[in-house]
Amino acid sequence: MEKELSEKEQQIIRYVIDGKTSIEIASLMCLSEETIKWYRKRLLRRFDAKNFASLVHILIEKGLL
């Protein structure tokens, strides 16, 4: 079974793709910068990605993005 992305995770990924920083994303989502960083690290670990570009590639390949 493929790993699903929560709505919040999808939103964070889209903001990163749009070039937003963690501070900007935190402001837009009414969360702390640390929370956004936690989500980003968690996504990288979960999909065994070395960086966010490779994460996006993996998610596209799996049809999750």
pLDDT tens per residue, range 9-56? 999 999 999 999 999 999 999 999 999 999 999 999 999 999 999 999
> Cα angle vertex 40, ends 27, 62, to 5°?
125
In terms of Cβ atoms closer than 10 Å to its own Cβ (0-12, 13-18, 19+), residue 39 is buried
Residue 64 has what pLDDT? 87
Nearest-angstrom CA–CA distance, 44 and 14: 15
Query: 55 and 49 in contact (C-beta within 8 Å)?
Result: yes
Q: What is the pTM of this model?
A: 0.84
> Cα angle vertex 14, ends 33, 50, to 5°?
75
